Amino acid sequence: MTTVTSPLAGRAIGLAAVPDPVFSGAMVGPGTAIDPAREPSEVVAPVDGVIVSLHPHAFVVVDANGHGVLTHLGIDTVQLNGEGFELLVNKGDTVSRGQGVVRWNPAAVEAAGKSPVCPVVALEATADSLGDLREDGDVKAGDSLFTWN
Report CA-CA distances (Å) from 110 to 43, 83, 92, 126: 17, 13, 30, 31
- Asked if 72 is an active-site residue, the reply is yes
The answer to whether residues 13 and 135 touch, using CB atoms and an 8 Å cutoff, is yes
CA torsion sign, 19 to 20 to 22 to 25?
positive
Catalytic residue among 55, 57, 67, 72: 72
Strand partners, 32: 120
Catalytic residues: 72
